[in-house]
Amino acid sequence: MAMTDGKRTTLGVGMVGHAFMGRAHSHAWRSVSAFFDLPRVPAMVALAGRSRERAVAAADRLGWRSAETDWRELIRRDDVDIIDICTPGDTHAEIAIAALEAGKHVLCEKPLANTVEEAVAMAEAAERARTDGVRSMVGFSYRRVPALTLARKLVADGRLGTIRHVRAQYLQDWIVDPEFPLVWRLDKDKAGSGALGDIGAHIIDAAQFVTGEQILGVSALMGTFVEERPLADASAGLGAAPAGDRGRGRVTVDDAALFIGRMSGGALASFEATRFANGRRNALRLEINGSAGSLAFDLESMNELYFYDGTEDSETAGFRRILVTEPVHPYAGAWWPTGHLLGYEHTFTHQAKDFLEAIGTETDPSPSFADGLQVQEVLDAVTRSAGRNGTWTAVGDSRA
């Protein structure tokens, strides 16, 4: 139930999970109304986590008013209007569908689900709830990097002409050490897949978001370089501490996934998602070449966008660096004076802002669960292609 806080109407948020993503989302809910003028402001009502002790400590530290040990309690509460799902993928479908059926707006971390079947059920539940004004969105937070939002605008404005090539990479190296423990992100039952779903999903979404085109078909290779690792505390995440001596277990997901694809506008695309790019900590890179120009972006320098305008005089033409911190740039004007940089956490604040705005203005937020399902279908096509030595696989034909 929306409540009035001073002049503005608040929306109660209940967040499930409080690890890496829970911390990032908490930061966003805490800061969003201080920087953006919103039709509805969030109230951080309650956080849910399985262990009471950890949930209470996390709620206290991250700024939540209360803690629950069962997500169902969040859904039952009248003071919770939004359910924010920050748990591993194996729980997304159950929580999201229950929340939507209870009339709560839902923000769900990516990838939307662990399987296409789950994603279909979620998209259907979202569509049913939508007719009652209940909103849902999937958390592809990198759409809210100002440089990538600007990249999309430049493509839409025709500054690149016809898109010929998309080159997308998401390079990390946090499990290069074979002694890095077997955290949940390396467990197929929990995570659905490895590098593919966790970071490949981001470049699939980013490439489609920026170009406005969809991936139609793929040929893929996937690999797991380290097949056994020390057992760890199952809830441990990125940067987990050494596991101690609990024995070893099997890695059941991919360490790396590579694929080529054809885009709906005719562009040829390549994608590489890996956790074994030694020295590359968190490099989401996108280069797009069009008939009239090119764009290049690297998340490790996330305030910059490189633009090549092929219509310029060849004497002075060349890639130029746009520092995406001007008031005219997406989201940037709400923060600091020109040239004062933004970071990873701001993308989640922008995501919260866009979601609250959509709820407040009764419009559909983007990316929708249907968009999340489409990315899930690309992930599924990649997995099926890799299982058949790279055989060309159309996206979406598993449901045909």
Stretch that binds ligand SOE, among 81-89, 195-203, 375-383, 389-397 (CB under 6 A): 195-203
Using CB under 6 A, count the residues that bind ligand SOE: 8
Which residues in the 13-42 window bind ligand SOE by CB under 6 A? 21
Among 81, 90, 187, 198, binds ligand SOE (CB under 6 A): 198
Cis peptide before 111 (omega within 30 of 0): yes
Q: Which of 21, 258 has the CB closer to ligand SOE?
A: 21
Residues in the chain: 400
Instruction: State both tokens at 287.
Output: 């280069």
As measured in angstroms, the least distance from the Cβ of 184 to ligand SOE is 11
The end-to-end CA distance of the chain, in Å, is: 41
Query: Whole-angstrom Cα distance, residue 263 to residue 208?
Result: 8
As measured in angstroms, the least distance from the Cβ of 123 to ligand SOE is 20
Q: Which of 101, 177 has the CB closer to ligand SOE?
A: 177
Q: Which of 205, 377 has the CB closer to ligand SOE?
A: 205
Residue 248 bridge partners (DSSP) = 230
Stretch that binds ligand SOE, among 2-10, 25-33, 197-205, 389-397 (CB under 6 A): 197-205
Which residues neighbour 214 within 8 Å (Cβ) at sequence distance 6 or greater?
Answer: 208, 263, 264, 374, 395
Which residues in the 49-108 window bind ligand SOE by CB under 6 A? none
As measured in angstroms, the least distance from the Cβ of 88 to ligand SOE is 10
Which residues in the 269-298 window bind ligand SOE by CB under 6 A? 282
Site string for ligand SOE, 213-252 (x = CB under 6 A): -------------------------x--------------
What secondary structure letter does DSSP report for 214? -
Q: Are the beta carbons of 65 and 47 closer than 8 angstroms?
A: no
Query: Binding to ligand SOE by residue 141, rule CB under 6 A?
Result: yes
For the chain, strand residue ranges (E) read 3-5, 8-16, 40-48, 66-68, 82-85, 105-109, 136-139, 163-171, 215-223, 228-230, 248-250, 256-263, 268-274, 283-290, 293-298, 304-309, 320-323, 393-394
As measured in angstroms, the least distance from the Cβ of 172 to ligand SOE is 6
Query: What residues make contact with ligand SOE under the rule CB under 6 A?
Result: 21, 110, 141, 198-199, 202, 238, 282
